[in-house]
Amino acid sequence: MNTDQDLKPQVKRKRGRPPKEVGGRGVTRECLVRKGIELLTAHGYASTGIDKVLKAVGVPKGSFYHYFSSKDDFGRAVIDGYGAFFAAKLDKWLLDETSAPLQRLRNFVDDAKAGMERYEFRRGCLIGNMGQELGGTHDVFRGQLEAVFLDWQSRIENCLIAAQDAGEISSNADCAELAAYFWIGWEGAILRAKLVRSTRPLDLFTNAFFQGLPTKG
Amino acid sequence: MNTDQDLKPQVKRKRGRPPKEVGGRGVTRECLVRKGIELLTAHGYASTGIDKVLKAVGVPKGSFYHYFSSKDDFGRAVIDGYGAFFAAKLDKWLLDETSAPLQRLRNFVDDAKAGMERYEFRRGCLIGNMGQELGGTHDVFRGQLEAVFLDWQSRIENCLIAAQDAGEISSNADCAELAAYFWIGWEGAILRAKLVRSTRPLDLFTNAFFQGLPTKG
DNA sequence: TTATTATTAGACCGATCGTCTATTAAATGT
DNA sequence: ACATTTAATAGACGATCGGTCTAATAATAA
């Protein structure tokens, strides 16, 4: 994994505007954001230098400040990119009509768990990481990160409402609250899973979550 | 709050070993660790430079590397200091025989909640912060941070066992697992509380936690 | 053809980290 | 009393790195 096959050509370029690459239209910016997601998730915002991202993608420094006005601006783009990427992943699982609603949620959880294992519990969730690192100090990021959580949360909420409609959980259940509870515990479990390098915290939380859901009534 | 009344004298000092301060015996190191706890909790490990700590305490750089061999060494001392400080806080509440076991846990939670509010949800928990920031990459810190969690966890576990003995919760309950679950959710709630600058996530989690405890049977 | 825009190359400044030497007071030994 | 060793501080230093800025040049539009 991560064989760096998706980066810009490492060929030595001349200065100035480069000759028009047929396939490459705005590819650079997207590559930067993609690498940013990868590196910020793994090492955090403060610890990840611009240079690291640039070197990993094979793009010179000058380009960076053409596409982004500052590191913060880049950070915002990275958060948006990750938020959208993960929202799509949520939809993929939670809107899958071939499974019952609660099973969809389980499927998502299993997929996310597999992702944690695949990266050896080194990355976790970019939004959780940046929230922890910058939520207390950086107001702009704080609002943006919370907005991403609310977006994800509403997708879980909709899935729980579907479960209600399907009679899987009680019609009295407060799905919005349960969805909020889900993300609180899930992010806490990811943090702990990084420390113990195991899915145990994830299993512990999700088992309790599903078991605690109000049964039909 | 934080009126900086607890730092070393800012007076211009001469070089060389300073005259023996009557009260001050090894005070410098302790001051550094204390400020370290404060600054690392607020801004994270990577973002907090040695110089910031030194300036805040009014100690020159030369002293730092007399007491600590490196920044990592300092980080370890800070983690230990915070771990011990918080363990004492836990004991203060959880071993308070004047309340029933579960009430002790509620008291601790209320106190921690008040602490979050006092700092306007800007700091959170040093162990959670550093775990998020470095748990995935820094092996030494990772082990140390997990050890702190296990220590805190055992204190919660003991309190839950006392609750069992008092008949407050079921004798079938797995107190070790419940204690692990408590910290997973609590840390997740802190993270979220920083983002929304409100105790709601903390309330949401703790209410669910207490309500989900297996009733006596 | 000329002007403008997009994109790159890399210099630049300041901050940070950790080391190093010099300095001086206390503690210790004789 | 004196010499020696140890504890603790002052602060300069070099290497590195992060973020910003200027100059250069090809594509594009007027």
What are A88-141's pLDDT values in tens digits?
999 999 999 999 999 999 999 999 999 999 999 999 999 999 999 999 888 889
Among A145, A184, A196, whose Cβ lies nearest the Cβ of B146? A196
- From the CA of A54 to the C1' of D3: give the distance in Å: 61
Residue B96 falls within a domain, yes or no?
A: yes
Positions of chain C reached by protein Cβ under 7 A:
5-11, 15-27
Which residues of A are less than 8 Å from B175 in CB distance? none
In this prediction the ipTM stands at: 0.89
Instruction: Using the structure block, give the residue that is written with the tokens 């939004």.
Output: A127
Residue B184 falls within a domain, yes or no?
A: yes
Q: Quick one: which residue's CA is nearest to C24's C1'?
A: B16
Nearest-angstrom CA–CA distance, A175 and A214 = 10
Number of domains in chain A: 1
List the single range of A115-119, B70-74, B209-213 with lowest mean pLDDT: B70-74
A contact residues 46-105, partner B, Cβ 8 Å cutoff: 46-47
The domain in which residue A119 lies consists of: 71-212
- The pLDDT score that the predictor gives to residue B20 is 54
- Does residue A188 belong to the interface with chain B, where contact is any CB pair within 8 Å? yes
Residue A15 falls within a domain, yes or no?
A: no
Mean pLDDT of A145-167: 98
CA distances from A49 to A103, A119, A127, B76 (A): 41, 21, 18, 24
Instruction: Using the structure block, give the residue that is written with the tokens 């990427």.
Output: A85
A180 to chain B nearest CA, in Å? 8
In tens, the pLDDT along A174-213 reads 999 999 999 999 999 999 999 999 999 999 999 999 999 9
CB A208 to CB B204 under 8 A?
no
Q: Which residue has the higher pLDDT, B59 or A17?
A: B59
Mean of all residue pLDDT scores within chain B: 88
- Does residue A123 belong to the interface with chain B, where contact is any CB pair within 8 Å? yes
If you write DSSP's letter for every residue of A99-117 in order, what string do you get?
Answer: S-HHHHHHHHHHHHHHHHH
In tens, the pLDDT along A32-86 reads 999 999 999 999 998 898 888 988 888 888 888 888 988 888 999 999 999 999 9
Residue A174 falls within a domain, yes or no?
A: yes
If you write DSSP's letter for every residue of A4-71 in order, what string do you get?
Answer: --SS---S---SSSPP--SS-SSHHHHHHHHHHHHHHHHH-TTTS-HHHHHHHHT--HHHHHHH-SSH
Dihedral-angle region of residue A49 (phi above 0 means left; psi in -120 to 50 means alpha; beta otherwise): beta
Query: Which 3 state secondary structure label does DSSP give A169?
Result: strand
Residue B9 falls within a domain, yes or no?
A: no
Burial of B130 (0-12, 13-18, 19+ CB in 10 A): buried
Which residues of A are less than 8 Å from B195 in CB distance? 131, 135, 142, 145-146, 149
In tens, the pLDDT along B184-194 reads 999 999 999 99
- From the CA of A10 to the C1' of C3: give the distance in Å: 32
Instruction: Using the structure block, give the residue that is written with the tokens 């060494």.
Output: B73
Residue A178 falls within a domain, yes or no?
A: yes
Among B46, B180, B186, whose Cβ lies nearest the Cβ of A204? B180
Mean pLDDT of B128-156: 94
CA distances from A145 to A129, B85, B184 (A): 10, 31, 20
Size of interface A-B (CB pairs under 8 A): 130
B185 contacts A185 by C-beta, under 8 angstroms: yes
CB A46 to CB B42 under 8 A?
no
Instruction: Using the structure block, give the residue that is written with the tokens 């607890």.
Output: B6
Among B42, B131, B187, whose Cβ lies nearest the Cβ of A136? B42
CB < 7 A contacts with chain C (nucleic strand): A 12-18, 25-26, 28, 59-63, 65-66; B 14-20, 48-52, 61-62, 64-65, 69-72
In tens, the pLDDT along B74-99 reads 999 999 999 999 999 999 999 999 99
Binning pLDDT at 50, 70 and 90, where does residue B2 land?
very low
Residue B194 falls within a domain, yes or no?
A: yes
Nearest-angstrom CA–CA distance, A35 and A144 = 20
CATH number of the domain enclosing B139:
1.10.357.10
Query: Which 3 state secondary structure label does DSSP give B60?
Result: coil
Chain A interface test: which of B184, B198, B213 (most A C-beta within 10 Å): B184
Nearest-angstrom CA–CA distance, A124 and B64 = 34
A156 contacts A105 by C-beta, under 8 angstroms: yes
Residue B85 falls within a domain, yes or no?
A: yes
- The pLDDT score that the predictor gives to residue A4 is 36
- From the CA of B66 to the C1' of D3: give the distance in Å: 26
A200 contacts B184 by C-beta, under 8 angstroms: no
